[in-house]
Amino acid sequence: MNARITRGLKLGLSKAAATALSTLHTPQQIQDFVTEIPMNFEPEGGTALSVTEVLAQNRAHCIEGAFVAACALWIGGEPPLLMDMGADVGDDDHVIALFKRRGYWGAISKSNGTYLRFRDPMYRTLRELALSYFHEYTKGRRKTLRTYSAAVDLRRIDPKLWVTNTNFCEEIVDVLTTARHFNLLPHGLDKHLRPPDPVEVVAHRIDEYAKPRKKKSSRKSGA
**Which amino acid is located at 76 in the chain?**
G
- % residues pLDDT > 90 (the chain): 91
For residue 75, what pLDDT is reported?
Answer: 98
Positive or negative, the Cα torsion across 143, 116, 214, 40?
A: negative
Domain boundaries, the chain: 3-203
- pLDDT value, residue 219: 46
Which listed CATH number (1.10.760, 2.40.160, 3.90.550, 3.10.620) goes with 3-203? 3.10.620
Integer distance in angstroms from the first to the last C-alpha of the chain? 67
Taking the whole predicted model, whether its pTM rises above 0.95 is answered as: no
pLDDT digits (tens, 9 = 90+) for 94-142: 999 999 999 999 999 999 999 999 999 999 999 999 999 999 999 999 9
Pairing of strands 145-149, 81-87: antiparallel
How far is CA 205 from its chain centroid?
Answer: 19
128-139: pLDDT as tens digits: 999 999 999 999
Q: What does pLDDT average to over the chain?
A: 95
Distance CA 81, CA 49 (A): 17
Q: For the chain, state the CA radius of gyration.
A: 18
Helix (H, G, I), strand (E, B) or coil at 35: helix
For the stretch 50-94, pLDDT in tens is 999 999 999 999 999 999 999 999 999 999 999 999 999 999 999
